[in-house]
Amino acid sequence: MFEIVSFILGPVQTNAYLVADPATKEAAVVDPAWDGHIILAEAQKRGWRIAHLWYTHAHFDHIGGAGAIADALNPLPLVALHPNDHVLWRAGGGGALFGFNIDPGPEPAIDFYQGQILRLGSVEFEVRFTPGHTLGHCIFYVASANVCFCGDLIFAGTVGRTDLPGGDWDQLVESIKTQVFTLPDETRLLPGHGPETTVGEEKRNNPFAGGM
Ligand SMILES: [Zn+2]
Ligand SMILES: [Zn+2]
């Protein structure tokens, strides 16, 4: 069993995803974007315990709600992030560039790596390392639920920006080609911004993915 609750939060309309195995009530937040109290209230309403905060990458708009969530929980949720984004995390997710000073929440405790399996109750998430938008960007694929949390790698009809520190266009294209377009066409893509899409839809219609 697997449930996903999505939120649109913060100054740049970031998607946060509260995910759980309702049988065990164990929950995680994929990108606790902003206003952590809203995510927390939803988990509490459902009787879910947030044990993990999983970051696709360390940009401020994806981690800005972590502090408020952690402050309300004991034990603290375990924060997981790819080590290549630790420098960005320590720099407040680059928020200063945009005039935002966030509470970054607990230190990352778990390092993501390519092929790592994360477990939430009976649900398995496969970590795929997808640099290009940031140095340490990762996506999380749940084969049993036919869904992939893809952060700021690819969106409906477009792709993540590569003009911020750590961005690299060639890497981004390679990450999409090798880590997203190798998933089944019917896989739902739940991105960091904007509406959900599917792998097949983006293979056909994403102008940035043409010729990949
Ligand atoms: Zn980003
Ligand atoms: Zn973003």
Cα–Cα distance, 52 to 20 (Å, whole number): 10
- Per-residue model confidence (pLDDT) at position 72: 97
Interval between CA 31 and ligand 2 midpoint (Å)? 9
pLDDT of residue 143: 98
Q: What is the pLDDT of residues 105-152, one digit of tens each?
A: 999 999 999 999 999 999 999 999 999 999 999 999 999 999 999 999
3-state SS, residue 8 = strand
45-57, pLDDT tens digit by residue?
999 999 999 999 9
Cα 122 from chain centroid (whole Å): 20
Report the separation in Å between the CA atom of 106 and the middle of ligand 2, taken as the mean of its atom positions: 20
The band of 209, judged by pLDDT with boundaries at 50, 70 and 90, is confident
Distance 23 CA to ligand 1 centre (A): 32
Q: How far is CA 29 from the centre of its chain?
A: 8
Q: Which residues contact 130 (CB under 8 A, 6 or more apart)?
A: 137, 138, 139, 150, 151, 153, 175, 176, 179, 180
Mean pLDDT of the chain: 96
pLDDT, residue 208, reads 85
Average pLDDT over residues 62-77: 97
- Which tens digits make up the pLDDT trace of 144-203? 999 999 999 999 999 999 999 999 999 999 999 999 999 999 999 999 999 999 999 999
pLDDT over threshold 60, residue 211: no
Q: How many whole angstroms from 14 Cα to the centroid of ligand 2?
A: 6
Biggest CA pair distance of the chain: 49
- What's the CA-to-centroid distance between 191 and ligand 2, angstroms? 9
